[in-house]
Amino acid sequence: MPEASFLEWFSTYAYQPNLVYAAIIFMMFASSFGLPIPEEATLVSVGLLAFLATQTDTYPPPYPDAQSVNKYTLAAVCFVAVFLSDLVVYTIGRVGGYRIKTSRRLNRLLPPGAMLKAEAWVMKHGALMAGVFRFTPGLRFPGHMTCGMLGLPLWKFILVDGTAALISVPTQILLIAYHGEIILYYLKRFREAVFVLLFLVVAYFIFKRIWLWRQRKSRVQNV
């Protein structure tokens, strides 16, 4: 797809705000539960939509008075989706307790030793890790679940994780919404490199999942 056609197609979603907000909620929950959907890539993409919605001369609305993605509403929706998804994972750990740690099904989905590593860090650093896990994609899901599993007080989790999300998420959205031309410049200049990088990231996650599945299957057969 030519560059101009791609941006024109992509910009049409800038005038489908309800679809975008719903997609954000789904993507953030999927990312928090460990699916290979980089949270940062989602935030950059929707932030860029908010920027394109302001460029009506280049990317006009499909019809007069079409409702567009609002950057402030978008920032709020992203923050709420991120924070609530973290809170759900924490709650699962809090309710599940020791059963979570010993669940074979769960451990088959996680990198080897992820729960043990997260547990050691939470026991050593306490509530601080709730914020650290927010910025650690590979340990975000097991880390927040471990916070609940080890009985980290709810108010501490909300304070630390909520503060981390409030600092990072709306800031990213608004910066891109106001200065999206920088991203467009580099996207146009290094288009091929960007797509190759995205392909490599997706391929890495897929092959990593396959390798982990084979490793666990081999261990089960050898028991």
The Cα 141–Cα 51 span in angstroms is 30
- Flag whether pLDDT at 79 surpasses 80: yes
- Measuring CA to CA, how many Å separate 30 from each of 24, 52, 86, 92? 10, 25, 11, 15
pTM for this structure? 0.79
The Cα 15–Cα 47 span in angstroms is 13
| Start-end of H helices in the chain | 3-11, 17-32, 39-52, 71-96, 98-101, 104-109, 114-125, 128-134, 137-149, 154-189, 191-222
The Cα 33–Cα 37 span in angstroms is 10
- Flag whether pLDDT at 115 surpasses 90: no
Give per-residue pLDDT as tens, 25-68.
998 888 777 666 778 888 988 999 999 999 888 888 988 889 99
Domain ranges within the chain, ordered by starting residue: 3-96+162-218
- Measuring CA to CA, how many Å separate 25 from each of 1, 34, 69, 134? 28, 15, 15, 16
When comparing pLDDT for 49 and 223, which is higher? 49
- Flag whether pLDDT at 110 surpasses 80: no
Give per-residue pLDDT as tens, 163-180.
999 999 999 999 999 988
